[in-house]
Amino acid sequence: MGLAHKSFSNEEQELLISLLMKQEYAIELLSCELNDIESGEKAVDMETYKQLTTLYDRIRFD
C-alpha cells in the first residue's frame, strides 16, 4: 500500500517535514519535481508551478 492511502497526524507531518529539511532531501525533491515539469514529463497548473518555485527559492536561499 502506498503512502497516498494513509492519513498522517499533524505531528507525523511535522516530523516528516523536519526530517526532509534536516537531511536536505526537500530541496532534492523540489528540484526533481521542477525538472520533470519543465521538461514536460509532468503537467501541473501554473499556480502549482509558481508555488513550487517559490518554495524552492525559500528553501534554497533562506
Q: Is the pLDDT of residue 59 over 50?
A: yes
Q: Which residue has the higher pLDDT, 7 or 43?
A: 43
As a whole number of angstroms, the distance between CA 53 and CA 47 comes to: 10
For the chain, the structural domain boundaries read: 24-62
The answer to whether the CB of 20 falls within 8 A of the CB of 26 is: yes
**What pLDDT is attached to residue 62?**
78
Query: pLDDT-derived band of residue 2, with 50, 70 and 90 as boundaries?
Result: low
Work out the angle between the directed axes of helices 46-61 and 25-38 (0-180°, nearest 10): 140
pLDDT over 80 (residue 13): yes
The answer to whether residue 18 scores a pLDDT higher than 90 is: yes
Model pTM score? 0.78
Q: For 3-58, list the strands marked E by DSSP.
A: none
